[in-house]
Every structure is written in structure tokens, then in C-alpha cells.
Amino acid sequence: MSNEAIKQFADREYKYGFKTDIALAKFVKGLSEDTIRIISHHKKEPEFMLEFRLDAYRRWLKMKEPHWPEAEYAPIDYQNVIYYAEPKQATEKPKSLDEVDPELLRTFEKLGISLMEQKKLAGVAVDAIFDSVSVGTTFKGKLKEAGVIFCSFSEAVQEYPELIKKYLGTVVPVTDNFFAALNSAVFTDGSFVFVPKGVRSPMELSSYFRINTEGSGQFERTLIICEDNAYVSYLEGCTAPKFDTNQLHAAVVELVAMDNAEIKYSTVQNWFAGDPKTGKGGIFNFVTKRGKCQGKNSKISWTQVETGSAITWKYPSCLLMGDNSVGEFYSVALTNGKQQADTGTKMIHVGKNTRSTIIAKGISVGHSNNNYRGLVQIGKNADGARNYTQCDSLLVGSHCNANTFPYHDIQNPTAQIEHEASTSKISEDQLFYFLSRGIGQEDAMTSIISGFCKDVFKELPGEFAVEATQLLGLKLEGATG
Amino acid sequence: MLVIKDLHANVAGKEILKGVNLEIHAGEVHAIMGPNGSGKSTLAKVLAGHPLVEITKGSISYEGKDLTAFAPEERALQGIFMAFQYPVEIPGVNNAGFLRMAYNAKRKKHGLSELDPIEFDNVLQAKIKMVEIPEQFLDRAVNHGFSGGEKKRNEILQMAVLEPKLAVLDETDSGLDIDALRSVAEGVNRLKRSDNAMILVTHYQRLLDYIIPDFVHILLGGRIVKSGDKSLALEVEKKGYDWLQ
């Protein structure tokens, strides 16, 4: 009986798998210095940006693709990736959302993201990115009044080159890793946020990433800077159509928090996971995300709900430089079908009295493989540093796999480190308990899993907590209690 | 309401119930007593439709229908409730939310609209008063970190909310101190009505000091070997089970 429930549960369809038929104005396949020059040219970038890219590319050529994560995949042919795909627009560059191709707007509408003036999510500004290009950003004016800059990365390169020049690559250096170097060479678009001294962003900021074109990669680049005493909460969501081929998503996200600043970065990732039975297709989500708590008393908080992608490989991390700075990582990773996830965080304690919290919840369903990998490093001078880590794995069915790989590197004797880990299965007894109260199998399963994730969901900003539960419910169809 | 005829059932390939006959009518309270391993809990589980219990022979008719044809959740929706001997913990799932899910599942079954949390809270407040359960129970996760006694009381709260026609209480008295036992029993007594029935599965007579049964059945070796009234329970208390073998 419960095996049946598990099977039904594991076999659910990906409902964002539709493709938008939209003409591409430009696209570039294959990787070379020319590719990079073309991207840079299309983006009308200043010279320093092109130099940054070419430098990254030349370094990347000398690097080797790493294979240490717990994931297996066929070699990636980097010459067979579309590095730049720009949807055709009615006008050269839409001045406002009214000029954006209605087909694009409808695509986002279908995804539940309305960019239209009258239907915009109240209190949330959205930047929508379709393949390599930002389609538009809502509430820009209102944010600007408050002093907050929120725009596409491409726009920022042109409008605020000095800020880009100052911060780009300062948290994730070009040579940090193979995929970060690749991203630095060919990144296309993403979001840029700048919150000046003393400003609290008056609304939630949100980016929505959509990969539409078959064979295209999405190399997004996001940079968020909070000056002294500033605050921002940012959420990203991602989906892609169903294709038989794998698509590469190699993003880099950099966060900088100055004195007393706070950045809350939330991700709801639901890229196409590949065919649940054959494992064919799906996104390779190879992402480098890192935040630098540069100032004293600063705080960076990562919350991620990872439900999609054929392979997820990411470790949103915090560099705790400033004294008393705080890093947090709250993660739910759900794998189903043949999905593989190797995800976790790094908390690098440099400053004194720095604190970090890691709560990671892994749920494995079907034949999937779900791994937590995390590093807690306490530097020599990080007196009084503290870390609390809790890793819980939940197995659904008996064909899936969960592992925990905690690494500790402690160089200061005053450090206080706590680590708790658990692995459990959804028990027959738990399921039967729901059934015996008249609650159906699907609702029971969703409820048990949501309950398991509660500590993480409560970290998501207000309305997104509901949205994430619903998004998670793509795989866990049905209401949650 | 319930007619069990020559019921045989296996657990993990081993025959536990070996021909149980039992008839229960609305308004009645039946106690099933017996030593460890006599098949008491298996009998309770078979009524709730537990997947590990396999019926090999016999029939269970509930309100004239073949109960064994219904999945566990359908049985619950038809008015069967089992209070578990060991209620399972469900971390992160809010107790009030869980109760609302169960309550709404039943309303849906009867073609009624589902209640939102605020509407349901009115229902809930009346129920917790009725079975004298502290309001803090509602904000906790289902049975998570509950003491043994609290878990049993939480079962009674669920019973109060779901208003079953046939409630099966599986060793609800086990592991309770005397005060907790009294409070659980009082809750159960308040839920007794002329249109519902209860089966109390118990080891000891003491529960029956608080909930007076109309019938007492002694289950031994997978069969009901003797039936009687409350005095049978007292007799067993005095003499043990050996004389019945």
C-alpha cells in the first residue's frame, strides 16, 4: 500500500516543462574568444568588462573540470553549448514593460510571475530573465526613490560601471573554481542590487530565471551589495522546459555586507530535473554562491529550496570577516527520480565572535541521490567563534540514497562547534497514522515532508514561504496542513 | 453496527487471530481483555486496516458493508477510529493543522465545505474544553516530544474532533499514572453516545473502573474464549487467565 503511495508520489509530472516558441534575435554557439567578444559587444559593455571576461577565459582554459562531487554525468561538450540566446523583441530595447513582447510576458504569467503593471505582486519587485536577457524589472522607480538600485546585471554594467568594477569578482575570484571561471568569461545576465548606507529596501526583491532555448546554457551573474546599516531580502526562482538534452546552468552570485548590514538571499530552484525514469535531460545546476560579511555585525542568510535540476552542485557560503558577523544557511534539497544533489555550505570564520548556523534538510525519493557537504572553518584569529549544524535526511522508499559529509577545520581553541545529524525514513507507521484519520496518502506524504522542512520554510520571506511550499508541492502535489 | 465472523488473520506470516466472533451494536461499550500475545492489538489493527495484518479467513461487516474492502482512510471516513497504543510522532506537523486536515477530510466526504483555520478553531476550542485538554497541545507538533500520557490524551482529542461511530481504543490505559488514567477515561466517557460504540482493548481491569463496559470478552490464543459483563473483568483480575485456557 505505502509502496504504491511512494510510487505515485515519485512519478509526478513537471508542470513548468512547456516551451515558449519565440524567435531568437541572436544566438552564439561554441566557446572561443570570439564568442566572448560577441557577447560583450551585444551587451555594449565597456572595455574593462571585456578584459575581465577574456582574462577569465584564458585562465579557464588551463583549469580542469572537477569531479569530486557525488554525481555522475556524461562529459560536457563545451563547444556544443549556446552561450548567448536573446529573444527577439518588438523594439531594439524595450523602454518599459509595455514594449516587451507579449509572448514573453505570457510565459512569465504562466509561471505565476506577472510583470504587468496591474497584476504585479504587491510589495515585491521582480526582475525576469529569459535565457540570456533580462525581460524587465518591476517597481524600479519606487525602489530608486528609496535609493535602492535593482536592475539587470547588463544594465548595471552600463549605468553603474564603477560599482561593478569595484565589487565584481571580489567575493568569488575568477579562478575560484572551474565553473566560476567559465561564468566569469561568458556570463550573460542576472541581477544587480545596491542598497546604500542606512537604507532598508522597502520591498522584497526577486529575480525569476527561465531557460527556454534548447541547448542553451544560462550563465547568470548576480551581485548584491549592502552598505553600512542597509538591509535587503532577495529571492530567486528558476524553471526550464523539458528537453532530452542536458543544459548547463553555471551561475555566480556574490554578496557583500558592510557594517551592520543584512542580506537575506532565498532561492526556490525548480529547474527541469530530467526524465524521472530514464534520467534523460534536465539541468546541470553548477553554481557558486558566496557572501562576504565584510563589516562588523553584518549578517548574511542563505535559504534555499532545491527541488529541480538533474544535478545540483552548490554550496552557498559565508565569509565571516567582520567581528560579530553572522552567517546562516537553511536548506531543503528534494531529489526524486534520477536526480543527484551534492549541496551544502561553507562557513569561513575569520573575525572574532562570528557565529554561523546551518540547518540542512535532504529528502530523497525514487532512485535519487542526495548529499550534504559542508565545511566549517574557524581561523586562527576567530576568537569565540560558534557554529551550530543540523543535518537531517529523510528517505522515501528504499531505492534512494543520502549521505552527509561534514568537514571541520578548527584552528582556534575557543571555538564552539555543535553538529547534529539524523537519517530517517517516512515510516509505515507515520503514513498509517494519517490514513487512520481519514487523510489520503498524498496529503499525508506532503504533510510529513513539509513538517520535516518546517525549520527551513519558516526562514523564507512571508509570501514566499507559501509559494515555496506550493513549488515544493510540484513534486508533492496536494494541500499541506 | 459491527459483525465479525470466524476471523483469521496473520501478522508476518504467523496466524494471530484464529476464529474471532464478535457483534457490536450502537450504544455499547465492549472491553477486550487478554494476556500479552493473545491477539488483542491485532484485532484492533485489523479493524483500522493496518497493512501488516493479513486476513486469511472470515468476514467483518460494518453497517452492513464488507469492511475489508475499504482502505484505511476510507474506514476512517466511514466513522471508524483507532486510538493507538503507541501514537507515532510527526515532527513539524502542527497538531491543530493535523486535526483540521482530518476534520476537513471528513467534511469533504460528506459533501460539506472545508473549514479555514479560524472557523476550525471554534470547533477545536469546544472540543478541548470537552475533553479537558490544555490549549498548548494545539500549537505543538503531532505527538512530538509528548509524554506517554500526553500522547494518549491527544488521541482522545482526535476522537473528540472526529466523532467516530466506532472507536477502538488500543491499550489506551497502558503507561498512564492514575491521574492521567482518570483524565483520559473521563474524556472517553464524555464522548459516549447512544449512536456510537466503543471497543476498549486492555490488559488490566483498572480502566474498567472508570469506563464501565456493557460486555467483557476474554481473548486467548486468538479466540474469544469467554464473554460476560463487568464482573468477568473482576474475576480475571482476581484469578488471572490460566483458568480460562
Pairing outcome for strands A221-226 and A191-195: parallel
The alpha carbon of residue B52 is apart from the nearest alpha carbon of chain A, in Å, by 9
| A61 or A14, which is more confident | A61
Whether the per-residue pLDDT at A472 is higher than 70: the answer is: no
Contact B214, B28 (CB under 8 A): yes
pLDDT tens-digit map of A284-315: 888 999 999 999 999 999 998 888 878 888 99
Q: How many CB atoms lie within 10 A of CB A13?
A: 11
pLDDT of residue A481: 25
Cα separation, A165 vs A169, in Å, equals 9
Interface of B with A (CB under 8 A): 48-52, 71-73, 75-77, 81-82, 84, 87-88, 90-94, 97-98, 100-102, 105-106, 109, 141, 158, 162
Whether the per-residue pLDDT at B65 is higher than 90: the answer is: yes
Residue B23 three-state SS: strand
Q: A109-113, B35-39, B191-195: which range is least confident on average?
A: A109-113
**Mean pLDDT to the nearest integer, A17-30:** 66
| Out of A437, A440, A451, closest to residue B92 by CB | A451
Cα separation, A445 vs A470, in Å, equals 14
Q: What is the mean pLDDT of chain A?
A: 83
pLDDT of residue A102: 67
**Which residues in chain B have their CB less than 8 angstroms from residue A451's CB?**
90-93, 141
pLDDT of residue B217: 96
| Out of B52, B76, B93, closest to residue A447 by CB | B93
Highest mean pLDDT among A88-92, A127-131, A406-410, A467-471: A406-410
**Mean pLDDT to the nearest integer, B22-48:** 94
| Out of B51, B73, B94, closest to residue A439 by CB | B73
Rounded to two decimals, the pTM is 0.81
pLDDT tens-digit map of A117-167: 544 555 566 777 666 566 667 777 778 888 999 888 988 999 999 999 999
pLDDT of residue A189: 82
Contact A66, A177 (CB under 8 A): yes
The alpha carbon of residue A361 is apart from the nearest alpha carbon of chain B, in Å, by 12
Highest mean pLDDT among A236-245, A285-294, A438-447: A285-294
Interface of A with B (CB under 8 A): 1-2, 427-430, 432-441, 443, 447-448, 450-455, 479, 481
Whether the per-residue pLDDT at A16 is higher than 70: the answer is: no
Quickly list H helices, chain B.
40-48, 72-77, 95-109, 117-130, 136-139, 148-162, 178-191, 207-210, 230-239
| B5 or A43, which is more confident | B5
| Out of A432, A447, A452, closest to residue B101 by CB | A447
Residue contacts between A and B (CB atoms, under 8 Å): 84
| B92:A429 CB<8 A | no
Whether the per-residue pLDDT at A333 is higher than 50: the answer is: yes
| B90:A429 CB<8 A | no
pLDDT tens-digit map of A56-79: 999 999 999 988 888 788 888 888
pLDDT of residue A1: 38
- The band of A449, judged by pLDDT with boundaries at 50, 70 and 90, is confident
Neighbouring residues of A13: CB distance < 8 A, sequence distance ≥ 6 = none
| Out of B50, B51, B76, closest to residue A437 by CB | B76
Whether the per-residue pLDDT at B221 is higher than 70: the answer is: yes
**Mean pLDDT to the nearest integer, B49-73:** 95
Q: A284-288, A395-399, B96-100, B129-133: which range is least confident on average?
A: A395-399
| B105:A435 CB<8 A | no
> If we measure between CA atoms, which residue out of A226, A224, A223, A225 comes closest to residue A198?
A226
| A435:B109 CB<8 A | no
| A437:B48 CB<8 A | no
**Mean pLDDT to the nearest integer, B211-229:** 94
pLDDT of residue B197: 96
pLDDT of residue A156: 92
| CATH pick for B2-244 out of 3.40.50.300, 1.10.357.10, 3.30.1050.10, 3.30.450.20 | 3.40.50.300
**Mean pLDDT to the nearest integer, A231-238:** 85
Q: Torsion angle of alpha carbons B188, B193, B194, B200, nearest 10°?
A: -20
Whether the per-residue pLDDT at B184 is higher than 80: the answer is: yes
- The band of A90, judged by pLDDT with boundaries at 50, 70 and 90, is very low
Q: What is the mean pLDDT of chain B?
A: 93
pLDDT tens-digit map of A199-227: 998 888 888 777 666 666 778 899 999 99
- The band of A425, judged by pLDDT with boundaries at 50, 70 and 90, is confident
**Which residues in chain B have their CB less than 8 angstroms from residue A359's CB?**
none
Report ipTM (2 d.p.). Answer: 0.95
Give residue limits of the domains in chain B: 2-244
**Which residues in chain B have their CB less than 8 angstroms from residue A420's CB?**
none
pLDDT tens-digit map of A338-390: 888 899 999 999 999 999 999 999 988 888 888 999 999 999 999 999 999 99
| Out of B52, B94, B105, closest to residue A439 by CB | B105
The single residue listed with the C-alpha cell 516551451 is A19
Cα separation, A38 vs A280, in Å, equals 31
**Which residues in chain B have their CB less than 8 angstroms from residue A437's CB?**
73, 76, 81, 98, 101-102, 105, 158, 162
| Out of B73, B75, B100, closest to residue A440 by CB | B73
Q: A204-208, A230-234, B181-185: which range is least confident on average?
A: A204-208
pLDDT of residue B21: 96
pLDDT of residue A396: 83
